Structure 1
Amino acid sequence: MGRRPVPGHAVIGRLRRSPWPYLAPALVLLITFTYVPVGNMVVYSFHKWDGLDPVMDSVGLDNYVRVFTDERYWRVFLISLYYFVASFAQIAIALYFAVVLSFRVRFRNLFKGILFFPYLLNGVAVGFVFLYLFQPDGTLDSVLRLIGLGEHSKLWLGDPDVANISLAGTSIWRFTGLNFVLFLGAIQSIPGEIYEAAEIDGATRWHQFRHIIAPGIRRILSLSFILAISGSLSVFEIPFIMTGGANDTRTFVVQAYETAFQFRQIGLASAMAVVLLLVVLALTWIQRRLLPDDEVTLS
């Protein structure tokens, strides 16, 4: 006997139950705008190319050798340490306010808006705002003179000893709101009955944080550490807008940008981008090994 034909509605039913029709558009966009450009970047990194010539000259590993041996290219990684420290400061600040505002506090909705508002601003706008704040005789110097601390005024963006600290402080102000929202959402997802039981048992706020909140948001903390690592290594907007990389504030990404679009060395800039990608992946893997994503239990 021949195989009975499958009714049309049965085929449609199978397609509806299959996840692929829903995943296909996202996968196409992901491959087109993420994996294909990354593949092209890897290919460019093995060539000498100015971005305009239709012919690329193969140079093998010369671009990578230059990145690791030329001090101008690997030394800028040290600037990321300022932003790395700043990222942990913003995590601590965001976690503190998220914990405080997760309980009943007067005007807590107002404070939530104030904390999250900087993250809504465009990075270019933030750069220009703080550029006027830190300029000589600007807002910060005026405030210091007003409170009797005028002798502590400095060239906040002109002195290499403090310029990176000023830029890292700007980064804290802008990105604390993102961590704050992540932490607050995770804290509020913990069932309220657990807090009520803890209060009945006489647990203080510190005990609730240590035994309920901290274990409950462990995955979000892990995510924040990953974002801190990748973000500190890929800082671009703030130093590029505020100093243009002058006064020893040039980050690795700013250096790669200048290499590609000012010096027309697309192959070398691509090699820098590949190195940055590998460093971020390696540090993320190490972080995941040190802080595995175990199942969260509140007991």
Structure 2
Amino acid sequence: MRPRWFTPWLYLLAPLALLVTFTYLPVLDMIGYSFTDWDGLSPTSDVVGLHNYTDLFTRPELFQVFTVSLFYLAGSAVQIAAALYFATVLSFRTRLRTLFKGILFFPYLINGVAVGFVFLYFFQPGGTLDTVLHQVGVGPRLWLGDPDLVNPSLAAVSVWRFMGLNMVLFIGAIQSIPPDLHEASALDGANRWQQFRHIIAPAIRPIIALSAILAISGSLSVFEIPFIMTGGANNSETFVIQTVKLAFTFDKTGLASAAAVVLLLIVLAVTWVQRRLFPDERVELT
């Protein structure tokens, strides 16, 4: 008996219903709120058209927070480079490689709130970091209180937490490479660097591109780590923290919705540009 054309859609019905209910419908509501002056509590609101967007683009201070994203973007580059290095090393025959994989991936499994509180003690004056640095003659610092140090410190926390996820993605991609290629290159006298440059890097290029897209979008929408550790103080406020404050502190849900829509459009635009500049290419390894 031939399967009916709608049979696959029956299996997709439940996940599609959840996706529409908890993703697309809230996005449509958010877009609708962005054209109103709703305060988040009143049962009624007035339509203000593009006033929220005009207000958003004519107040430079609302976009200055994007400079904080540059620290996280730089941290993402370090994160991807470190993940690629460890994934390559641990893909070869290395002693205790399973143990090291678990150690490096473990931070990603920890709840973000717990990570924030752990590093609050790590960075506090006289805390773990100051104690370690004191042993090499470095004096204490206000890691979360100094505007020049707070953003690099918070970006380093993000690198520590998410590097393991990228490493696992890279390891999975590297393991899909036929082992015969590694053996043949080793017989030809290729060292580890040459194997990485000519075999591994071209083969996992789509995964590297995916990680770069996730890194850029994540850098623009950082929230939980700085919110928990500093609350946006000392020039550590991100665009998302600012949006949350507009909605829940200043009761400007309409303006906050407009900011969220703008952030969504920026992320989509960056993703589109990156996909145009670095399109997926099927790599044939022979």
Alpha-carbon shift at residue 262 of structure 1 (Å): 1.0
Q: How does 1:125-274 map to 2 (within 5 A)?
A: 125-149=114-138, 151=139, 153-274=140-261
Residue pair 1:235, 1:253 contacting (<8 A) in 2 also: yes
Q: Using structure 1 for the length normalisation, give the TM-score.
A: 0.93
Alpha-carbon shift at residue 14 of structure 1 (Å): 2.9
Task: State the secondary structure of the residue aligned to 1:92.
Answer: helix
Q: How does 1:84-163 map to 2 (within 5 A)?
A: 84-149=73-138, 151=139, 153-163=140-150
Letter in 1 for 2:109: L
Alpha-carbon shift at residue 265 of structure 1 (Å): 0.8
Match of residue 40, structure 1, among 16, 29, 33: 29
Residues 17 and 204 (structure 1), Cα distance of their counterparts in 2 relative to 1, 3 Å cut: farther
Letter in 2 for 1:111: F
Q: Using structure 2 for the length normalisation, give the TM-score.
A: 0.97
Residue pair 1:215, 1:297 contacting (<8 A) in 2 also: no
Residue 68 (structure 1) aligns with:
57
Letter in 1 for 2:91: S
Residue 292 (structure 1) aligns with:
279
User: What CA distance in whole angstroms lies between the structure 1 residues aligned with 2:38 and 2:5?
Assistant: 48
Letter in 2 for 1:89: V
User: What CA distance in whole angstroms lies between the structure 1 residues aligned with 2:280 and 2:109?
Assistant: 30
Deviations 1:150-195 (A, max 9, x none): x3x2110000011101000111100101101000110011111111
Deviations 1:224-255 (A, max 9, x none): 01101110001000000000000000000000
State the 4+ residue runs in structure 1 displaced beyond 4 angstroms: none
Alpha-carbon shift at residue 17 of structure 1 (Å): 7.4
Query: Number of aligned pairs?
Result: 286
Alpha-carbon shift at residue 282 of structure 1 (Å): 0.4
Alpha-carbon shift at residue 16 of structure 1 (Å): 8.2
Task: State the secondary structure of the residue aligned to 1:50.
Answer: coil
Residue pair 1:15, 1:21 contacting (<8 A) in 2 also: no
- Structure number, greater radius of gyration: 1
User: What CA distance in whole angstroms lies between the structure 2 residues aligned with 1:263 and 1:119?
Assistant: 33
RMSD: 1.2
Residue 7 (structure 1) aligns with:
none
